[in-house]
Amino acid sequence: MTLTLHKHIVNQVKLGEQTGINQGCLSLDAAALARTLQEQDHRLARIRVRLALPGEATRILCVKDVVQPRAKAVGTEPGTGVLCVLENVAIATCGPIVGFQEGIIDMSGPGAAYTPFSRLPLIVLEIDVHEPLDPHAHEEALREAGTRAAKFVAQSCLDSVPDQTEEVLWDEVPCAPSLPRIGYVYIVLSQGLLHDTYVLGRNAQEGLPISVDPRIVLDNGVLSGNCVSACDKNTTFHHQNNPVIAELLSGHGTRWNFTGVVITNEPTRLAEKQLSAAAAVEKIIQMKSSGVIISKEGFGNPDADLMMIVRDLEQAGIKTVAITDEFAGSDGASQSLADTTPEADALVSTGNANERVELPAMATTIGPLPDVSRLAGGYPHSLRDDGSMEVELQAIIGATNQLGYSHLSCREA
Amino acid sequence: MPEKIQTIHYVNQFFGGLGGEDQAGVAPQWYDGPKGPGQLIAGMAPDIEIIGTIVAGDNYMAENLDAAVAEIVGLIEAKRTVAADFKPKLLLAGPAFNAGRYGMACAAVCQAVQARLGIHAATALHEENPAVEIYRRPVTIVRASSDVMGMRDAATNMARVGLKLVAGAAIVPTEDNTISHGLRQNYFADAPGAQRAIDMLLRKVSGATPETEYAMPVFGRVPPAPAVKNMAQATLALVTSGGIVPRGNPDRIESANASKFGAYSLQGLDRLSGETHQSVHGGYDPTYANEDPNRVLPLDVMRDLEREGRIGKLSETYYATVGNATSVERAQRYGQNIAAELVNVGVQAVILTST
């Protein structure tokens, strides 16, 4: 099994007559993209395509998902063949609120520091659907529009010469027996009712845990389908660029032996949580891992899944480090998690999502501005007449990402 | 050369050179310039100019702390009004080590001058000083040894931390050797979370003790109330963290990290409907709760039980908040307040619904 990445480094994005990449300049035929999406899904009533560039005074509101353009150039099996990847660009979908938990991306100003997407040129699709449409169909329509748009853009580059070619190696790399054996438990949200994730095309509520080749994740194997709070929802972009997998692959064979990925879920019922946790732990034991990284998605209820897995692994003699964000209150005075276990003695904190940030007014707003006060992390009084607002970091896309994608952390003060 | 930071130093009668226990009853007095440990600080911290020393007796402060602290605030305010060039930016108190009365006075003076006069303040205490538990949240406390043997280190560090406060720099307990305020505060780490996780795991696998970024809190346990003996006589209430409120959300309860709870009447209602009530909870898909709010706040079933005589009656007020991302500290407070109101109106049992 081999996976080759053909990377195109985008240094400029512009709207134009056709779609394709030339000397690092990505041109997008917005009308053709909108037409293609609407032909594939008649639920989409109106699609406005705009660019939002780093440093611009632009605020994007009610962002549903962010997707990196990736498309298969050769092969059909997930995790194998040749994958065309556009670096330094992403698609963001937004529009009227579906759940409460769409988020904000500021391209400059104090909010920009908290989202990784302020550093990428974004192709923003603001999408309205034909009403009436129930929320679940609405979510599905936007999710599919985002991934189709990413494919549309990436496919336009299949015939161009990539800037970099990278062979992603894993189990064919020889590992000395003295290297520590490190595994990864990848917990994804699967609570249903707008809190879903799709693993290899299947809803994560079923069929998990599974152990997978890490290259499957790079090859669009995990897609976001949820409206959990923006700060710690794993967007599709985060899955495609899972930083734990990227790190573990980079030191595989030299600093450690990366034993594999177990993708597991976060069911809502206690008995199912216990079953999923036990099965995930069993798979890690089968891999003979001596240490495991565990990442999480969401907070509150998912804290229970995380703690169960930590406890069961530690009791099986396997060392754990878990990545979690905190909800310590706006002043940081509260305890941070909804569940704990004494075995969780090694946590990486990705920040207190309750901390507030003042966002000044922006010259350009994309998306439905009045919906801000209803977003999780917003307040009824969030939006002021001058366009400035105070929100919790919770409302900013990727602010406290629990795959460990960003630098934000939290400490005692 | 930058201007020196005008600093006031607070000490007790002993360190102020007035005497021992026999002088513990003296009222706060102002002396120009440094005294005792203040001379040490002035010698070691060239950026600090100690413009005056306030000396007060331990017993005088302990016997009526609030009034004594107000006197000290008054002393400083009086100086301000008479001298135009009197512009203190910092107050340092102690070090008071593990001395109980002295520690309480130092911390209380720090709290008062920063809150009432806008002057930065720091003290130095041993971690077991009783003032630490009471004042650690509002007051910057440098770690000190238990006795005067550690004077030089504590005084030097207190001066250094004080200057950092004046400069508006972040105080990091692990780096600055201060006692944490017990607050969590965000910062941008050098490496992304995934990389820190792997580094932490490698250390842990190699047998080293991991340096966790969040130590597990200890959860409080609430013993369950004894069972209700006679349900047919009991008054029940409905309380929910599922965000069911009258349509329009009259109290504007937030969809996450709710800053309040609401109390709403059920009088004359046999069941809730999507026209009268809605969910404002931001943590779950509200479609089904909005369609039929009884799914989260089961008024329909409670009215059945009431009619069938299986419960005495339903309390005509229900309480609601949003549990989504609401901190444990707030949730505890809402729980205590709601419980007090329920007890007041004679409710014996509660059905709590969450989502």
Three-class secondary structure of residue B133 per DSSP: helix
Q: Find the CATH number of the domain harbouring B157.
A: 3.40.50.2300
Higher model confidence: residue B315 or residue B3? B315
B252 close to A (CB below 8 A): yes
> Where do runs of H (alpha helix) occur along chain B?
37-44, 58-63, 65-82, 100-112, 130-135, 151-167, 173-176, 193-205, 287-291, 299-307, 328-344
Q: Is the peptide bond before A209 cis (omega within 30 degrees of 0)?
A: yes
Q: Do B328 and A413 touch (CB under 8 A)?
A: no
Whether B225 is covered by a domain: the verdict is: no
Chains A, B: CB contacts under 8 A, how many? 247
Residue B226 half-sphere exposure toward CB, CA atoms < 13 A? 2
Mean pLDDT, chain B, whole residue set: 94
Whether B185 is covered by a domain: the verdict is: no
Interface with chain B: mutation pick from A255, A334, A372, highest number of B CBs within 10 Å: A334
Tens digit of each residue's pLDDT (9 = 90 or more) over A295-319: 999 998 899 999 999 999 999 999 9
Alpha-carbon span B173 to B183, nearest angstrom: 11
pLDDT band at residue B328, thresholds of 50, 70 and 90? confident
Burial A63-101 (b: 16+ CB within 10 A, else e): bbbbbbbbbbbeeeebbbbbbbbbbbbbbbbbbbbbbbb
Tens digit of each residue's pLDDT (9 = 90 or more) over A48-100: 999 999 999 999 999 999 999 999 999 999 999 999 999 999 999 999 877 66
Nearest CA of chain A to the CA of B3: how many Å? 29
Q: Do B170 and B235 lie in a common domain?
A: no
Tens digit of each residue's pLDDT (9 = 90 or more) over A367-407: 987 777 766 666 666 788 888 999 999 999 999 999 999 99
Taking residue B3's Cβ as centre, other Cβ atoms within 10 Å add up to 9
Alpha-carbon span A306 to A347, nearest angstrom: 11
What is the pLDDT at residue B55? 98
B169 close to A (CB below 8 A): no
B319 contacts B204 by C-beta, under 8 angstroms = no
CA A129 to chain CA mean position, Å: 24
Q: Is the dihedral of CA A237, A243, A248, A249 positive or negative?
A: positive
Residue with tokens 């600090």: B48
What is the pLDDT at residue A239? 98
Whether B15 is covered by a domain: the verdict is: yes
Burial A338-356 (b: 16+ CB within 10 A, else e): bebbebbbbbbbbbbbbbb
Nearest CA of chain A to the CA of B239: how many Å? 19
B167 close to A (CB below 8 A): no
B175 close to A (CB below 8 A): no
Q: Do B293 and B173 lie in a common domain?
A: no
**Structural element, H or E, at residue A244:** helix A243-250
Q: Do B160 and B39 lie in a common domain?
A: yes
Q: Do B35 and B158 lie in a common domain?
A: yes
Q: Do A99 and B282 touch (CB under 8 A)?
A: yes
Q: Do B196 and A409 touch (CB under 8 A)?
A: yes
pLDDT band at residue B327, thresholds of 50, 70 and 90? confident
The CA-to-CA distance between both ends of chain A, in Å, stands at: 49
Interface with chain A: mutation pick from B171, B180, B214, B260, highest number of A CBs within 10 Å: B214
Range of the domain at B18: 5-179
What is the pLDDT at residue A380? 63
Whether B186 is covered by a domain: the verdict is: no
What is the pLDDT at residue B69? 98
B288 close to A (CB below 8 A): yes
What is the pLDDT at residue B329? 83
Q: Do B159 and B289 lie in a common domain?
A: no
Q: Where are the domains of chain A?
A: 3-164+360-386, 175-355
Give chain A positions within 8 Å (CB) of B200. 321, 346, 348
Whether B312 is covered by a domain: the verdict is: yes
Mean pLDDT of B246-261: 92
Q: Do B284 and B148 lie in a common domain?
A: no
- Kindly report the CA angle at B74 between B69 and B78, in degrees rounded to 5? 155
Three-class secondary structure of residue A12 per DSSP: strand
Pairing relationship of beta strands A202-203 and A195-199 according to DSSP bridges: antiparallel
Q: What is the ipTM of this complex?
A: 0.97
Q: Do B133 and B258 lie in a common domain?
A: no
* pLDDT exceeds cutoff 80 at B53: yes
Catalytic position from the list A84, A94, A157, A227: A227
Q: Do B152 and B293 lie in a common domain?
A: no
**Structural element, H or E, at residue B351:** strand B349-353
What is the pLDDT at residue A287? 96
Q: Do A409 and B187 touch (CB under 8 A)?
A: yes
CA A289 to chain CA mean position, Å: 26
* pLDDT exceeds cutoff 80 at B127: yes
Q: Is B64 exposed, middle or buried (0-12, 13-18, 19+ CB in 10 A)?
A: exposed
**Distances, alpha carbon A368 to alpha carbons A82, A373, A397, in Å:** 39, 11, 16
Q: Is the dihedral of CA A109, A114, A118, A119 positive or negative?
A: positive
- Work out how many domains chain B is built from and give that number: 2
pLDDT averaged over consecutive 10-residue blocks of chain A (413 residues)?
A: 94 96 97 98 97 98 95 95 98 84 92 98 97 90 96 97 97 96 96 86 92 97 89 96 98 98 94 96 97 95 96 98 96 91 97 96 89 69 84 95 98 93
Whether B251 is covered by a domain: the verdict is: yes
* pLDDT exceeds cutoff 80 at B49: yes
Q: Do A335 and B137 touch (CB under 8 A)?
A: no
What is the pLDDT at residue A135? 85
What is the pLDDT at residue A100? 61
Q: Is the peptide bond before A380 cis (omega within 30 degrees of 0)?
A: no
Tens digit of each residue's pLDDT (9 = 90 or more) over B178-194: 999 999 999 999 999 99
What is the pLDDT at residue B57? 97
Q: Do B9 and B132 lie in a common domain?
A: yes
**Distances, alpha carbon A321 to alpha carbons A23, A198, A260, A344, A402, in Å:** 42, 25, 16, 8, 12
Active site (annotated) includes residue A157: no
Nearest CA of chain B to the CA of A118: how many Å? 16
Which residues contact residue B342 at a Cβ distance below 8 angstroms, ignoring those fewer than 6 apart? B237, B239, B315, B319, B350
Whether B214 is covered by a domain: the verdict is: no
